[in-house]
Structure 1
């Protein structure tokens, strides 16, 4: 197999290997859209200046590129921004082991979904030895395994799969050089799928990813809580902005004085969310 390495991957590899304790953010279109619409509350330097490197997978870029405003927003990011092509830039992160990457992609999708079924069949055929893995299998997977939308320009759930796969591949390949990988998304499916990847990886020794890993989520509720805490928005703005997201489910923990915590995963109306942020009890919004 010809091991093609893109210039973007070379730049990524050089950036990470020459540094330590990197804080990386992977963008999803839905959060870019939210921040673009409300840029006066979420200026790029305040939201993304914390990170050392910003990454955008190819199929996420395809969604972002549907809007010139979104493109302008990410072009003004205050940190290095790299676009990674799933077909060329993911395989080097597993040392060109196609079957391993197939399994990562398969577990980065919802069980029983079209892309999951598509790859499950490919994996079975490859493991049986009946069929050789095609050099173009990644491109074929995205083209044929996902349903199209927007006249075929973008693929439903493809970005979600690309983001989750990339997060785990980075931790697997670069290990403790990475301090944090924050996935900037508000798609709740990623929470359960992350657990699925971790469970499969641990059981089958798929990836070198520790149980306590640095992958976290920068959801809109996390953004709102941060902006409220920093004084970037007040109560009126928070109520308006959270209403615009149509989100109600919250995952968080509330800390007690005896170092115990109260885990919360529930539908939370904005009034209750605001009271949580204003209360005296320490809290952490997970998603």
Structure 2
């Protein structure tokens, strides 16, 4: 995989030409691998100017040789995907380390034990300007803050670490590069990722440090959104139909809107069966939020 150099990334994000930026989660990569033989996914992914995978997420990707090979194969189809190490977030945010700390803190706010850890072991009741160096407390957070599970390959998987890294990266680009008018899309099927970012945004608008600052919208593309995009853009390979892809769909809680009979908008947040999902695909007012 390609590891993007920090200077190149800053140059891209600082460009006056708006970029379409996608940030990948491991679960979406797994889904795309499962349906790879059924679709031409490059027709969708090549619409992005920049596709990023935080390193904490990539560590999960590498637990499967199949997923790793799938990403390598995408590179041969003119889909540029880059690994971004969390250690360069500080340089990416132009050394606004207090901002960076708050992006981490507010992203993991819903995780009570991890929030307590970061307050107790990193903040330590001292002014945020006096925190230890970023790379020091980042390592402490990853090594000791997240619950760990040892896998068969010997790696210790850190629960929620990847989702938090995605959240921080999205917020960082949203606030730091707002004037560049980039679009930021999180490609994830994990509701936690959605909740972490939404929760962090609510905390940030109430924080005096960010109250007067503008930020770019962060949108989300769940697997259901991808299925709908494949369906509407006819990205299925010859001889395949939507039912082939639906067999890989999780019947999960979906947040969506549809138009009511009086043209008002109904908001829904419910488990959507595969049958009802397919039925809604032909409704032009069916819009998936997550």
Q: Under TM normalisation by the shorter chain, which class is it?
A: 0.7 to 0.9
Deviation at 1:142, TM superposition (A): 0.7
> Given that residues 167 and 181 in structure 1 are in contact (C-alpha distance below 8 angstroms), is that contact kept between their aligned partners in structure 2?
yes
> Given that residues 52 and 79 in structure 1 are in contact (C-alpha distance below 8 angstroms), is that contact kept between their aligned partners in structure 2?
no
Pair 1:250–1:238, CA change in 2 (3 A): farther
- Secondary structure of the equivalent of 1:12? helix
Deviation at 1:268, TM superposition (A): 1.2
Partner residue of 1:139? 139
- Secondary structure of the equivalent of 1:244? coil
What is the number of equivalent residue pairs in this alignment?
278
CA distance in 1 between counterparts of 2:213 and 2:246 reads 34
Pair 1:219–1:209, CA change in 2 (3 A): farther
Unaligned runs of 5+ in 1: 1-5
Alignment partner of 1:197 is 2:189: no
CA distance in 1 between counterparts of 2:209 and 2:26 reads 28
Deviation at 1:120, TM superposition (A): 2.3
Alignment partner of 1:185 is 2:188: yes
Pair 1:39–1:19, CA change in 2 (3 A): farther
Partner residue of 1:47? 44
For residues 72-109 of structure 1, the C-alpha deviation after alignment (integer angstroms, 9 at most, x for no partner) is: 2222243432211112x111243323333222112112
Using structure 1 for the length normalisation, give the TM-score: 0.86
For residues 113-154 of structure 1, the C-alpha deviation after alignment (integer angstroms, 9 at most, x for no partner) is: 43222112245415358x742451111111111122323343
Using structure 2 for the length normalisation, give the TM-score: 0.85
Pair 1:132–1:261, CA change in 2 (3 A): closer
> Given that residues 26 and 55 in structure 1 are in contact (C-alpha distance below 8 angstroms), is that contact kept between their aligned partners in structure 2?
yes
| Runs of 4+ in structure 1 over 4 Å off | 206-209, 256-259
By relative contact order (CA 8 Å, sep 6+), the higher-ranking structure is: 2
CA distance in 2 between counterparts of 1:147 and 1:132 reads 23
Alignment partner of 1:216 is 2:219: yes
Counterparts of residues 1-287 of structure 1 (less than 5 Å): 8-75=5-72, 76-77=74-75, 78-87=78-87, 89-109=88-108, 111-122=110-121, 124-125=123-124, 127=126, 132-135=131-134, 136-149=136-149, 150=151, 151-207=154-210, 210=214, 213-233=216-236, 237-255=241-259, 260-279=264-283, 281-287=284-290
- Secondary structure of the equivalent of 2:117? helix
Pair 1:210–1:97, CA change in 2 (3 A): closer
Deviation at 1:239, TM superposition (A): 4.2
Pair 1:241–1:79, CA change in 2 (3 A): closer
Question: In angstroms, what is the RMSD of aligned CA positions?
Answer: 2.7
Unaligned runs of 5+ in 2: none
For residues 45-84 of structure 1, the C-alpha deviation after alignment (integer angstroms, 9 at most, x for no partner) is: 1231110001110101101112222222222243432211
CA distance in 1 between counterparts of 2:276 and 2:60 reads 33
Deviation at 1:176, TM superposition (A): 3.1
